Amino acid sequence: MSEATTTEVMPAQGAVPAVAGPVVHEEHEHAGPRQYVMIAVVLAIVTALEIGVSYMEDSLSPNLIILLLGVMAAIKFFLVAAWFMHLRFDSPILRRLFLVGLIAAPILYLILLATLHVFDPSL
Amino acid sequence: MTTTLATTTAAPPVPSSGHPETNTGISHTKLAFWAFLGSECLFFGAFITTYLLYRGRDQLLDKPPYPRDLFDIPFTSVTSFILLMSSLTMVLSLAAHQKGDLRQMRIWLFTTALFGLTFIGGQVYEFSHFVHEIQKINPDGGILSTNLFTSTFFILTGLHGAHVTVGIFWLLSLYARSLQGRLGPEKAEAVEIAGLYWHFVDVVWIFIFTAIYLVPQH
């Protein structure tokens, strides 16, 4: 599995440091092919479940189907972003940078949809 | 008397990360690319929101075709699965490159491009089938302007398809560079950045596929 190592980055001699003192960040080893294949198997299973749930309109309420599909899409997204895109292993700065867009976008658009009465069942 | 100031600058240490020394310890290219991906979330979010906003409103106007008239869920599920698995081949390509196994890297890179081409082929087939069906229902109308569904559907999925196409060209260019010997182990970041882009178009499709095809139609 992954092993955490701490790297201390010192400014090059003669260079003017932009920040006071050394910058410390963490680097982790990435997963191996075996873990990647296991993640892909989980993704395949979740995708099969998603498609199965979408055909259960007669036995499940539409709201429950939407909820289940949303949760499963989020699981798939998390697995790809964390493992395949290495967010789980890379520097936290990258994670935070991406999370800004990722959190800002749904909040912004959910407010927009609510403003336009998309969630109003009478419409 | 002339005084000469001798400036001695030590050679910068050879970075183990494969990129020049930075204040954050992270490559500027990688940092900028993650910021770009964050902005892409907002870009695709806008089009997904527009689709959801107009979803089902065509029934109120009684202006077909409706999604249920056109969608072939099993077919799109297969092409979506192929795109999802292309993320696996992409990350295997990067892992091989980081280990210095350039032959394996090339095989997985080409497989990823091939999976991407299969997805785009499926989308082209789907689009041409939909256009044919729309023209049967509405022979005098345009395609994009037929109704709210066709406008939002073709623009959202078309933009995603354009992103996948750019990704395919990117991967094939890396493959060609590798064949020319210009993608050695020291260029791991080039493969990593291309991989980030490829995984991103894959995760965007996860949400598009769910929102458009799987969520129950009205």
pTM of the model: 0.82
Band (pLDDT 50/70/90 cuts) for residue A3 is very low
Which one is predicted more confidently, B68 or A57?
A57
Q: Which of A14, A18, A73 sits opposite B210 (nearest CB)?
A: A73
Extended strands (E) in chain B: none
Q: In whole angstroms, give the CA distance from residue B195 to residue B164.
A: 12
User: CA of A74 to nearest chain B CA: how many angstroms apart?
Assistant: 8
- CA B4, distance to chain mean position in Å, is 57
10-residue stretch averages of pLDDT, chain B, 218 residues long: 46 55 82 89 91 79 75 94 97 94 96 98 95 82 78 94 98 97 90 96 96 85
C-alpha A121, offset from chain centre = 30
Condensed to tens digits (0 to 9), the pLDDT of residues A59-104 reads 999 999 999 999 999 999 999 999 999 998 888 888 888 888 788 8
CA-based nearest residue in chain A for residue B202: A80
ipTM of the complex: 0.85
Instruction: Among A7, A33, A55, select the one facing B92 at the smallest CB separation.
Output: A33
The b-or-e profile of B19-43 (16+ CB within 10 A means b, else e) is: beebeebbbeebbebbebbbebbee
Structure tokens at A110: 């959910």
Which chain B residues are within 8 Å of A75, Cβ to Cβ?
Answer: none
